[in-house]
Amino acid sequence: MKLLVKNGWLVDPGSNRCGRFDLVIEDGQVKQVIPVHADGIPEEAEGAAAGDVEIVDAAGKYILPGLIDLHVHFRDPGLTYKETIATGSRAAAHGGYTTVCTMPNTKPVMDSKETIEQQLAIIEKDAVIHVLPIGAVTKGQMGEELADIRGMKEAGACALSEDGKSVMNAALLAAALPIAKEVGLPFFDHCEDMNLVRGGVLHAGKKAEELGMKGITNSVEDVIATRDIILAKEAGAKLHLCHCSTADSVTYVRLAKEAGLQVSAEVCPHHFALCDEDIPGDDANYKMNPPLRSREDMMALREGIRDGIMEVISTDHAPHSAEEKAKSIKDAPFGIVGSETAFAIAYTTLVEGGYLDLPGLVKCMSLNPAKVLGIPKGTLQEGYAADFTIVDTNESYRIDPDTFFSKGKNTPFAGKEVRGKICSTYVDGNCAYREDM
Ligand code: DOR
Ligand code: ZN
Ligand code: ZN
């Protein structure tokens, strides 16, 4: 099956191509990238017109390498009333994603060769995009005994993470990191010092005080982020800091990079688009971990992204049921959905806000995540998988959770006017989402 993606504007920072190009897709791969001149006639349509070709018309739209999300929670197996691999992967395709990494805090926890194999069997059966499992650092995420890191790597895990928690025992993490390095898995770090949380539910600031809620200080994150930079340095392991929310995390990541350490960092759209001042009241759609921080933190994150210090934008897509999120902020679980809003929120906040150009955003949402994983994706060069996304930035629209494919509707962005609509998503040359589907 051949595909000809015509009339679009390619944005592919991985090949330094940005402009009018047609793509010829064959056997799931990019076969040809054909420059189109101002008169609209491709340089060499040779081969592209021959045979049985399906045309994808991208006129007036951008063609991007498929987005890659290093951080989602699909709750499958075990918590499938919140999300499944089937619904989560469809939601991700709807959001322009062609590859996502699933966090291991499922039931059971992904902590062994067998559990990863079981999850991969569900993925094989149900996923409409590439879904790569992440394995836990400790058995059952209990923080007591190391999980079978080698076995999980063998089964196909793409990274290690204790997400949802930190590995509070530094000695245990110090034992895990050399194994991670040996087998070539990066460590995705949820930074939260449990002993400093002290029952906090919102950022420790005026808003939490106003609402009479306990605060989560920046030190809750910063203490573990710095600790783990030190431990990763000692082990020579690859460290990726998840959902950075504080201004100081940007400083520490910059220093670590200047010191030549293998450290990367992600920021989630909610942390750079919102701050605690935006919390309208006791609404658990504004509750996530780490929390929405101060305006100064939010601005420092934007600047960190602008400067290339924070090189990945991921979602921390964390679906919960309507009943769970209808509770007070005090009692509801932490987490919001993100797969279906991330591109538009990032485009509207960062590109329209003047922090990044579109190629810069594509780096953060596709090319750089691929680099963190060390996989040959995130670019549409000849020979690469035909994972791509077509987006329309011309018209603005309002975010409507009723249109989500995710089971989770828990978003603080409902009703927000944005630009950056996903028109279609292709995985290995096959359509995983199309507007008129
Ligand atoms: O907000 C969050 N939700 N943060 C986490 O670390 C875990 C996640 C979840 O699993 O719901
Ligand atoms: Zn986390
Ligand atoms: Zn998470």
Instruction: Name the residue with the closest Cα to ligand 1, atom 5.
Output: 164
- The CA distances from residue 316 to 102, 172, 256, 313, 330, in Å, are 9, 25, 23, 10, 20
Distance CA 62, CA 385 (A): 18
Say which ligand is closest to the CA of 242.
2
Q: Band of the pLDDT at 45, cuts 50, 70, 90?
A: low
CA–centroid distance, 163 to ligand 2, in Å, is: 5
Q: What pTM was estimated for this model as a whole?
A: 0.98
CB 66 within 8 A of CB 427: yes
> Could you report the per-residue pLDDT of 318-373, keeping only the tens digit for each?
999 999 999 999 999 999 999 999 999 999 999 999 999 999 999 999 999 999 99
Instruction: Catalogue all structural domains in the chain, each as residue range(s) with its CATH number.
Output: 2-63+385-395+415-434 (2.30.40.10), 66-373 (3.20.20.140)
Q: What integer pLDDT is reported at residue 44 of this predicted model?
A: 59
CA–centroid distance, 289 to ligand 1, in Å, is: 6
> Could you report the per-residue pLDDT of 56-65, keeping only the tens digit for each?
999 999 999 9
Q: What integer pLDDT is reported at residue 241 of this predicted model?
A: 99
Please calculate the CA angle 175-179-180 and round it to the nearest 5 degrees.
Answer: 110
Say which ligand is closest to the CA of 71.
3
Which of 221, 215, 218, 220 is CA-nearest to residue 202?
215
CA–centroid distance, 121 to ligand 1, in Å, is: 24
Tell me what percent of the chain is helix, strand and coil, each rounded to the nearest 5.
Answer: 30, 25, 45
* Ligand 1 binding pocket mutation candidate from 162, 220, 244, 288 (most atoms within 8 A of CB): 288
DSSP 8-state assignment for residue 307: T
Cis preceding linkage at 133, omega within 30: no
> Could you report the per-residue pLDDT of 416-427, keeping only the tens digit for each?
999 999 999 999
What atom in ligand 1 is closest to the CA of residue 334?
1
Choice among 12, 163, 228, 316 that is catalytic:
316
The residue to which tokens 């009333």 are assigned? 81
Structure tokens at 384: 């690469």
Distance CA 9, CA 19 (A): 5
* Ligand 1 binding pocket mutation candidate from 69, 73, 191 (most atoms within 8 A of CB): 73
CB 365 within 8 A of CB 378: no
What atom in ligand 1 is closest to the CA of residue 190?
6
- Please count the other Cβ atoms lying within 10 Å of the Cβ belonging to residue 27: 10
